[in-house]
Amino acid sequence: MSLSIGLQVFSIRKELAKDFWGTLEKVAEIGYKNIEFANHSAGTDFGVGFNIDADTLKQGMERLGLKTISAHIHPMSVDIMDQVIDYHQAIGNNSLVCGIGFWKNKAEVLAFSKELNIIGEKCRKRGMDFYYHNHFMEFQKFEGQTVMDIILENTEKEFVKIELDTYWAIRGGIDPIPYLRKLGDRCDLIHQKDLTLEAKPANIFETIGEECEINSEKFREFSKVEYFTEVGEGTIDIRSIIKEARDIGAARYIILEQDHSNRNELESIAISYRNLERLLIENEILKNPR
């Protein structure tokens, strides 16, 4: 399976807020074709978070040559899923993602997993894929087991896939390459960003310990601009991640998501696009030497 570049629009949220269609036009000019939306107001807007009706969005995306490949929905709730699915099927999107979770103990993770399963089954019955996207806290342990492993064991593979964020896996003390092998065909969407030298130690649990309660406030302590850089400009071995993803053959998209940047957002995603494109081409040449 070929691996294509995507863009999670959380990376350009400030620019989109200023000029939604003008920003997407610039995204297309950079070279992006595959878009993953991020809706953080799903309780009142079942679409992509900008109060745009489905027909308008679909027509605008087609005009720009852009394809909606996925969307993060927050807050995620069983109660809104029928309306969310209706909207996203109308725009031609077949993938929905739960983007974050916080837990105090294993019981909360089990309850969370049960809800993921219910939502995932609802999506599957409507012909859609449903994913969970990790940060670092999925690799904290409750009763000797990581949150991610609890989720994997207590959700059905056909209902809940994983969108592996390699950056946050590293921040959770996990090597993403063997973890991609572990996930196999349960992971066909990959999030990619890059890590700065300032992020020391890379493993956040070396700083806070495995017993620390992680809530949204604690999470924000490690989501700072100085810890993020453009793809190919930092310390992550992205070349090996791409090689592993292609060797496994399950992944369809490697999606840029840069949480913060010191640069203008559009300049930032342009640098990442060029570097990702170069790394994909280099890997293809190495895989198929003449």
Residues spanned by the domain of 103: 4-287
Confidence at residue 211, expressed as pLDDT on a 0 to 100 scale: 83
| 257-264: average pLDDT | 97
pTM: 0.97
Q: Does residue 28 surpass a pLDDT of 70?
A: yes
Model confidence band, residue 5 (pLDDT cutoffs 50, 70, 90): very high
pLDDT tens for 117-145 read: 999 999 999 999 999 999 999 999 999 99
CATH number at residue 166: 3.20.20.150
Dmax (CA) for the chain in angstroms is 55
Instruction: Please write the tens of the pLDDT for every residue from 67-104.
Output: 999 999 999 999 999 999 999 999 999 999 999 999 99
Count: domains in the chain: 1
Backbone conformation region of residue 173, classed left if phi is above 0, alpha if psi is from -120 to 50, else beta? left
Q: What is the DSSP letter of 106?
A: H
The C-alpha atoms of residue 58 and residue 92 are separated, in whole angstroms, by 8
**Distance between CA atoms of residues 184 and 188, nearest Å:** 8
Tell me the per-residue pLDDT of 53-62, one tens digit each, with 9 for 90 and over.
999 999 999 9
DSSP state at residue 70: E
